[in-house]
């Protein structure tokens, strides 16, 4: 796998955001596992507090969703990772009443990754912390985020 130069600047805004055929925002994310698959790395949600999986918009200059997912893992969690499994597409399960122009309908593509390195400094370190947790802790934290819970459940994290 080629090494890419990583920026200490997190991408912001949606100017280069990719959208699907129904106008849904295409979001790429990772389920970052420890080498022995007993723990998953979670990050603090920037907006709502709570714990989530690293994810974000797949942008037009990124040839693949997996590349976008690994960029998000770097920006949000400060990890370099290797994709081990495509967990497939997951539809947005939020009720339409909760969708807004800031949080429009999305289609999620998640990848299981192995964390190769955790860096001491990363683009969003000032607004997010990261934490390794067990399946039970992760599942409880993601109870209100069905699309993230689905990604977790599709992964090979040991239950």
Domains in the chain, number: 1
Quick check: 23 pLDDT over 90? Answer: no
Q: pLDDT, tens digit, for every residue of 113-157?
A: 999 999 999 999 999 999 999 999 999 999 999 999 999 999 999
Greater confidence, 55 or 21? 55
Instruction: Determine, yes or no, domain membership for 1.
Output: no
| Polymer length of the chain | 159
pLDDT at 103 exceeding the cut of 70: no
pLDDT number for residue 2: 45
Is position 74 within any domain?
yes
Tell me if 44 sits within 8 A of 1, measured CB to CB. Answer: no
76 within a domain of the structure (yes/no): yes
CA–CA–CA angle 138, 89, 119 (5° rounding): 50
Residue 15 in any domain: the answer is no
Task: Name the 3-class secondary structure at 96.
Answer: helix
Q: What is the value of pTM for the model shown?
A: 0.88
- Cβ atoms of 26 and 109 within 8 Å: the answer is yes
Contact 114, 35 (CB under 8 A): yes
Average the pLDDT over 95-120 and give the result: 86
d(Cα 65, Cα 69) in Å, to the nearest integer? Answer: 6
Q: Is residue 125 part of a domain?
A: yes
Per the domain annotation, does 115 fall within a domain? yes
What was the pLDDT predicted at 65?
A: 97
Domain that holds residue 31: 25-93+101-154
**Confidence (pLDDT) at 13:** 67
- Does 159 map to a domain? no
Quickly state the pLDDT bin for 102 (edges 50, 70, 90): low
**Each residue of 2-21: pLDDT tens digit?**
445 567 777 666 678 999 88
pLDDT in the model for residue 38? 98
| Rounded Cα gap, residues 12 and 39, in angstroms | 29
CATH number of the structural domain spanning residue 126: 3.90.79.10
At a CB cut-off of 8 Å and minimum separation 6, what does 108 contact?
27, 28, 29, 55, 89, 90, 91, 92, 147, 151
Q: Please write the tens of the pLDDT for every residue from 71-94.
A: 999 999 999 999 999 999 999 887
Q: Is 4 inside any structural domain?
A: no
> Minimum mean pLDDT among 2-16, 23-37, 45-59, 108-122: which range?
2-16
CA torsion sign, 46 to 47 to 49 to 50? negative
């Amino acid at each position: 796998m080629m090494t890419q130069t990583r920026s200490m600047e997190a991408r912001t805004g949606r100017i280069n955001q990719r959208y699907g055929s129904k106008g849904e925002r295409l979001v790429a994310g990772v389920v970052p596992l420890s080498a022995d698959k007993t723990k998953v790395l979670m990050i603090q949600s920037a907006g709502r507090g709570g714990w989530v999986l690293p994810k974000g918009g797949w942008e037009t200059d990124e040839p693949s969703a997996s590349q976008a997912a690994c960029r998000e893992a770097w920006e949000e969690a400060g990890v370099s990772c290797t994709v081990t499994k495509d967990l497939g597409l997951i539809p947005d399960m939020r009720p339409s009443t909760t969708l807004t122009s800031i949080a429009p309908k999305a289609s999620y593509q998640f990848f299981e990754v192995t964390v190769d390195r955790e860096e001491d400094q990363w683009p969003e370190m000032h607004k997010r912390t990261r934490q390794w947790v067990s399946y039970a802790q992760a599942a409880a934290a993601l109870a209100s985020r069905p699309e993230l819970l689905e990604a977790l459940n599709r992964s090979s994290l040991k239950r």
